[in-house]
Amino acid sequence: MLKIIALDHVVFRTTKLEAMLQFYCDVLGCTVERDKLDDNGLIQLRAGSALIDLVQVDSKLGQLGGKAPEQDGRNVDHVCLQVAAISQDNLKQYLAQHQIKHSEFALRYGAAGLTESIYIADPEQNVIELKPLID
């Protein structure tokens, strides 16, 4: 069984980057942790122990999520959950037991730093990233 430790990060797609930065930084008190890495349109904001990622819809990364957020467009790209330490093999085996398809593990930056994670989808096809803590 998996044990969720915390929310690692949430990724919002946006066409209003400056307004989003003003809201999250000036109003809610987040700080910019990483800015436009490799020109991929991603800005990561520190929100307590978690991150809020802002992705410009017209960027290379943002285009992977489809059209801009609107009534029938996707605004949340994915939610990342920190889970208790578990080996990659054990996590893959656990997901297979529950017939859950998954991506391959890849090195990604999150609230706890640069670690490996895997993507799955919930029944509504919301993308969930699982980021096991390291022992």
Torsion of CA 37, 40, 43, 49, to 10 degrees: -70
Residue 85 confidence (pLDDT) above 80: yes
Q: How confident is the model at residue 104 (pLDDT cuts 50, 70, 90)?
A: very high
H or E segment at 9?
strand 4-14
Residue 81 to residue 64: CA distance in whole angstroms:
21
Q: Is the pTM of this model over 0.75?
A: no
> Residues near 100 by Cβ (< 8 Å), separated by ≥ 6?
120
pLDDT at 77 (0 to 100): 78
What element of type H or E holds 93? helix 88-97
Tens of pLDDT along 46-55?
998 999 888 8
Tell me the C-alpha distance between 91 and 103, whole Å: 12
Residue 62: other Cβ atoms inside 10 A? 21
Which band of pLDDT confidence, cut at 50, 70 and 90, is reported for residue 105?
very high
Q: What is the set of domains in the chain, with CATH numbers?
A: 4-132 (3.10.180.10)
pLDDT class for 86, splitting at 50, 70, 90? very high
Cα-based torsion angle of the residue sequence 48, 40, 105, 80 in order, rounded to the nearest 10 degrees? 30
Q: What is the pLDDT of residues 63-83, one digit of tens each?
A: 555 566 555 656 677 889 899
